[in-house]
Structure 1
Amino acid sequence: MTRPLAVFDIDGTLVDSRASIHRAACEAARDIGLPEPDYDRVRQIVGLSLDHAMAVLEPGLSPEDLARFIAGFRASFNRMYEAGHEEPLYPEAMATLRRLHRDGWRLALATGQNRRGVARNLAREGWADLFISSHCAEDGPGKPDPAMLHAAMAACDAEPESTVMIGDTAHDITMAINAGVLPLGVAWGFHTVEEQKAAGARHVAGTFGELCVVLDGFAARAPVSRVA
């Protein structure tokens, strides 16, 4: 029985967190007296582990100021969540996940979020029943290191040739290539189609429907794998 594995990124792929991530970066910058970064700078670091991302965003900070910058980013998100904020799913995201699950796909998550953020997302209605495993930057090396994908394949009893990584950034694409799995991008997140293709994306889908067509083709060609 063919049971391919689809590993999904969260931010910018399933969840529209563009506004909240930019807001948190701006509030964290103001807290330490820096100018607010524009969205184009912020979008480039999404997907990296938080410590790495903030160091890339403001590379000239002292270790003390970097620690304050990171803490300010976390505090901004905590304030948003305490006020009841929840990032919306992209239209058709949930229907696509349910359809893949119904068709026999194994599903996992690989994200630059911390474990707390993953838990918040897994608390969304229906999510805990869909994903076999979840992997984040707190578990070990972050993107583009292949560690999360190696862990996902181990947890889901999958091989690289039957696994696809679906994300919206060059970091996702590079991680997939480093792990030897099929790198697929989506056009509605943080990095442009051109940036993802330059990183080596085999295909960048413009809609969830288009993504499903590509995944159907992959499943039809995937080698027979063990039943999880």
Structure 2
Amino acid sequence: MTAVNRLVIFDCDGTLVDSQHMIVGTMHDTFEELGLPVLDDAAVRNIVGLSLVEAMAALLPEAESAFHEMAAEKYKANFYKRRVEQAAGPDPLYKGILDILESLNDDGYLLGVATGNSMRGLERVLEEHSIGKHFVTLQTADGHPSKPHPSMVQTAIAEAGSDADAAVMVGDTSFDMMMAHNARCGGIGVDWGYHHTDELEGAGAAHVVSSSYDIPAVVKGLIG
């Protein structure tokens, strides 16, 4: 019997890169431009991980779907403005991320990304930090339903020649953990991102780590 590839799928924002300032600031810009009340920062952090239209629907539940779509487009334009016109630098990698990507590759694991970001945004992050070479499969909101639908994980598994028993999702939000559960694979939560440990555990995380350097050992314990 042919062995399947072992696959570790990472979320991006809040897991690989610390994008909190950029995301929260851009959402504030967008709500101000639309003449909406100022959001609490915590409310913005709670929706990170969802695709943009779904995020706007969560923040503006009484608005029509067309307004959610328009607000999502405004957000994209404001994000671009902050990134390019204001010469915002790249969001930093969290401590140890580059080391553990290299370690997992050296140990024979294939790596992927599943993010509510766009492909353009994800490719920019990978290029800024020269880490694209570590990943064999990239799944974004451009071609999938929003988390926690399992489509991104299922497609990553198929592209990598893996299966649910040999794959694990690493992420910082309850949406990541629910997506892993819906795809019938393990979930590892990280506590340095947008959702609290109790939210990650409540959403089905098998483990929650406090250091990126703990990820390889937890991965090995889950999928060998």
Aligned to 2:40: 38
> Is it true that 1:129 corresponds to 2:123 in the alignment?
no
Post-superposition offset of 1:219: 4.2
Structure 2: distance between partners of 1:219 and 1:201? 14
Aligned length: 220
8 A contact 2:165–2:223 mirrored in 1: no
Equivalent residues in 2 for 1:90-109, closer than 5 Å: 90-109=94-113
Say what the alpha-carbon RMSD is for the aligned residues: 1.5
- CA deviation string 1:92-113 (max 9, x = no partner): 1111111111111100000000
Structure 2: distance between partners of 1:28 and 1:126? 30
Post-superposition offset of 1:61: 2.3
Query: What is the letter of the counterpart of residue 6 of structure 2?
Result: P
Partner secondary structure for residue 190 of structure 1: coil
Structure 2: distance between partners of 1:137 and 1:67? 14
Partner secondary structure for residue 198 of structure 2: helix
Post-superposition offset of 1:119: 1.6
Aligned to 2:205: 201
Partner secondary structure for residue 89 of structure 1: coil
> Is it true that 1:119 corresponds to 2:145 in the alignment?
no
Query: What is the letter of the counterpart of residue 217 of structure 1?
Result: G
Aligned to 2:31: 29
Aligned to 2:221: 217
Aligned to 1:223: none
Query: What is the letter of the counterpart of residue 26 of structure 1?
Result: H
Aligned to 1:4: 6
Partner secondary structure for residue 124 of structure 1: helix
Structure 1 stretch displaced more, 211-220 or 130-139: 211-220
8 A contact 1:109–1:131 mirrored in 2: yes
* TM-score, normalised by the number of residues in structure 2: 0.93
Q: 1:125 to 1:190 in 2, by over 3 A?
A: closer
Aligned to 1:66: 68
Structure 2: distance between partners of 1:176 and 1:63? 27
Deviation beyond 3 Å, 4+ runs, structure 1: 62-65
Q: 1:99 to 1:34 in 2, by over 3 A?
A: same
Structure 1: distance between partners of 2:158 and 2:219? 21
Aligned to 1:188: 192
Structure 2: distance between partners of 1:64 and 1:139? 20
8 A contact 1:32–1:68 mirrored in 2: no
Structure 2: distance between partners of 1:16 and 1:192? 15
Aligned to 1:225: none
Post-superposition offset of 1:57: 0.9
Aligned with 1:174 (options 178, 187, 207): 178
Structure 1: distance between partners of 2:129 and 2:204? 34
Post-superposition offset of 1:43: 1.1
Query: What is the letter of the counterpart of residue 35 of structure 1?
Result: P
Aligned with 1:165 (options 169, 172, 191): 169
